[in-house]
Amino acid sequence: MAMAAMPQIDAPIALLVDVGSGRVLYARDVHRRFVPASITKIMTSYVAFDLITKGKLRLDQRMPMRPETFKQWHRVGSTMFLPADSQASVAELIEGIVTVSANDACVVLAEGAVGSVPAFTKLMNDAAAELGMRDSHFNTPNGWMDEGQTYVTAADLATLSGALMTRFPELYRQFYGHAGMTWGGISQPNHNPLYGYVEGADGVKTGFTNEAGYGFVGSAQRNGRRLVMVLGGYDRPNLRAKQSRELIEWGFAMWDAQPLFAKGAEVGSAVVQGGAAREVPLLAPRDLSVTVPRGAKAAYSLSVRYKGPLKAPIAKGETVGSLLVRVPGEAVHVLPLVAGADVAKGGMLDRLRDGALGLVGL
């Protein structure tokens, strides 16, 4: 079957990725830095989800509006209209951030979670570094204009979005994919251009300022297969809407995913140094696949890589290795593998065991 023509994409920055395989289906200037505007809020939610998962933040926790925050952010850009005396919960703030792009909620959450906006943006940049987002920097939790101090790339945003969905699947399903929200008696729609038009659409975030133009990170999932796209720099929102729908439909229609490993499957194992156990299983954190043009069969080879031996302690679910998928004529696809168990730091006997086995090459 011949590959259908790519739809016209006028965005100066564009990327379409199959998350399960890591295969790039379309790319244009994906390492060019650009101003994300409200797309920044994907990282804001990532940090919030991480704090919640670690028990440092609770969904029912109340966050007071500071007088100076109200003065600065009341009715500035997109907002959930938090009053001066508001005590919104973390869950309500995240809903406002994700669904209606609430600038005020971002600042209230940042200040309430870790004390200040600078402390929160430090967590954002720490997370970016941990994810390997080498060409991104965050100076604000809401993406408001800051003379270019906040910047990203399409490649980094695809990495971030994939991690958001994979690492926090329950929280992602809880807060993303909503067509609108009502809070304080005010109802507002989500401006995601895929909702109501694309089957399986559940994310992620639009962005607009005069500085940035119209950008979008979009995602949809069908039959266990997830596509993520990044579009940056449109002049008109209606063109962004039309072309984003066409691009993701092309990705589903003209490419197939051939399964490799189901989520949770053991792919291999890694040697551990200084741990209570000498090995840890390496698991697929999500369904892993290889993507090929519709009707084609993939020829590929697989190998496992990790920086070994791994050093204990290791947390279950921590990304500690990679599955390398080699397809002739393509760049190597690198898919994450996570630890299948906790490995505590070992004692004296464990170190003696490692030393003795090391002497005989085991």
Catalytic residues: 38, 41, 101
Can you tell me the distance from the alpha carbon of 148 to that of 340, in angstroms, rounded to the nearest whole number? 41
From the centroid of its chain, how far is CA 137? Answer: 15
> How does DSSP assign 263-313, residue by residue?
TT-EEEEEEEESBSSSEEEEE-SS-EEEEEETT-----EEEEE--SSEESP
310: Cβ contacts below 8 Å, ≥ 6 apart: 270, 271, 272, 273, 275, 280, 320, 343
Q: Please choose, from the candidates 174, 327, 243, the residue with its C-alpha nearest in 3D space to the C-alpha of residue 7.
A: 243
Q: Please choose, from the candidates 145, 116, 161, the residue with its C-alpha nearest in 3D space to the C-alpha of residue 35.
A: 145
Instruction: Report the interhelical angle of 154-167 vs 117-131 (nearest 10°).
Output: 90
Can you tell me the distance from the alpha carbon of 135 to that of 125, in angstroms, rounded to the nearest whole number? 11
Question: Partners of 198 in the beta sheet?
Answer: none
Q: Which tokens belong to 115? A: 């004390």
In the three-class reduction of DSSP (H, G, I as helix; E, B as strand; rest coil), residue 124 is classed as helix
Q: Which tokens belong to 83? A: 């009053």
The length of the chain in residues reads 362
Q: Please choose, from the candidates 178, 157, 160, the residue with its C-alpha nearest in 3D space to the C-alpha of residue 232.
A: 157
41: Cβ contacts below 8 Å, ≥ 6 apart: 97, 98, 101, 106, 141, 142, 143, 205
Q: Please choose, from the candidates 300, 316, 208, the residue with its C-alpha nearest in 3D space to the C-alpha of residue 260.
A: 300
Query: In this structure, which amino acid lies at residue 51?
Result: L
